[in-house]
Amino acid sequence: MATSQAPSGSTPTAIVCVGMAGSGKTTFMQRINAHLHALKEPPYVINLDPAVRNVPFDSNIDIRDSVNYKEVMKSYNLGPNGGILTSLNLFATKIDQILTLLEKRTTPDPAKPDAKAIKNILVDTPGQIEVFVWSASGSILLDSLASTFPTVIAYIIDTPRTASTSTFMSNMLYACSILYKTKLPMILVFNKTDVKDAEFAKEWMTDFEAFQAALKEEEEAGSFGGVEGGGMGGGSGYMGSLLNSMSLMLEEFYSHLSVVGVSSMTGQGIPEFFEAVAEKAKEFDRDYKPELERRKKQREEEKLANRDKELGKLMKDMAVSGEPSSKKSMPDMDTLSDMEDEQDDEEDVDEEKEGGEDGLSSRYKQALAESGESSKEEDYSFARYLRTSQMNL
């Protein structure tokens, strides 16, 4: 019997379950959670769906404990999807606390040598898949998880509703977009195999001719797109050509996926799913982790460059950067005494315009020479201040 053990010497694997509404994602979460408990390897479970009323499993971290979905909708005058998105945004502000808690719970405790270490982190996401995958908060949560643990995307597909070529291709395109958006290893989980076997989908992914034959059969039967009675038969020529082209295009995409057929009701295929998770965890360490580290280093360098750029602007504005500053940003150092009259001020301005920096230097030297009442030490201090000011002009 297959086990769920992660690769030796590695950290726990985070399994993020995503899928369209009605694909059986929550039931799948319940099944893999029960499977791990049966193996005496309880996982760490995170629920990120703020709108769900009840979940059939216990969550160690639940977004509903931190964010009240209905209150968010009421406070911000939002609809259901906007409420979910805003709730995720609010929850994403606590990501540092979540990671700290995860690291604490997944690190072996020397005081409890007999306690089994957590080997899997299960993450349930909202049924509105686009709200999680394409939002900033979803990216923050996924990137943060991937920066700490090997992370695998489990894309749950409703197998009976994918029996037609058009809905199958729609699911594949969506899975392709998620793969290239998250840049994480992905497992295609064809759920509900107790209703319809997933062998047809595996064949379509590996055999282009089989997909072509199924497409031609649908066109001839007048059920193209899953509509009985030839509802789309009149315009299926273009669609058939498009689906054929997309099937060829996705051939490379299929080669990067693991495909597993499971039944969340009976538990069929769950051991094979965890075998695929172990393989994808190794793939993460081998292929994806270096890329994530490169992107992280690039972001840090960009952040440092932006900080230096902003600091340079600030120093220039304050005229302490050592570079020539504009006359507008030049400190007003013309007035040497509050007793000077307006005529002297006007003469100073004229002299500044005529003489520029040389005029300013001569005026400072003249003021220094006329300041006979000051001590030599004070003169020296002012001269030093004068030289410093000239460096900043």
The answer to whether residue 190 sits within a structural domain is: yes
Asked if residue 117 has pLDDT above 50, the reply is yes
Residues with Cβ within 8 Å of 386's Cβ and at least 6 positions away in sequence, in order, are 364, 365, 368
Residue 22 lies in a domain: yes
Indicate whether this model's pTM tops 0.95. no
Query: Structurally, how many domains does the chain consist of?
Result: 1
Residue 243 has pLDDT above 50, yes or no: yes
Alpha-carbon span 354 to 361, nearest angstrom: 13
Q: pLDDT confidence of 381, banded at 50, 70, 90?
A: low
Residue 317 lies in a domain: no
Q: Is residue 162 part of a domain?
A: yes
Give per-residue pLDDT as tens, 46-69.
Answer: 999 999 888 888 999 999 999 999
- Nearest of 381, 384, 389 to residue 319 by alpha carbon: 389
Residue 182 lies in a domain: yes
Mean pLDDT of 359-377: 54
With respect to residue 217, please indicate whether it lies within any of the assigned structural domains: yes
Residue 379 has a pLDDT of 47
Residue type at 93? T
Containing domain of residue 31, as a range? Answer: 13-41+120-222+252-293
Cα 66 from Cα 49, distance rounded (Å): 12
- pLDDT category of residue 227 using cuts at 50, 70 and 90: very low
Question: Is there a contact between 13 and 119 (Cβ–Cβ < 8 Å)?
Answer: yes
**Is 286 part of a structural domain of the chain?**
yes
Lowest model confidence (mean pLDDT) among 102-116, 124-138, 227-241: 227-241
The two three-digit tokens of residue 117, written as one number: 């270490």
Q: Is residue 96 part of a domain?
A: no
What is the CATH classification number for the domain harbouring 151? 3.40.50.300
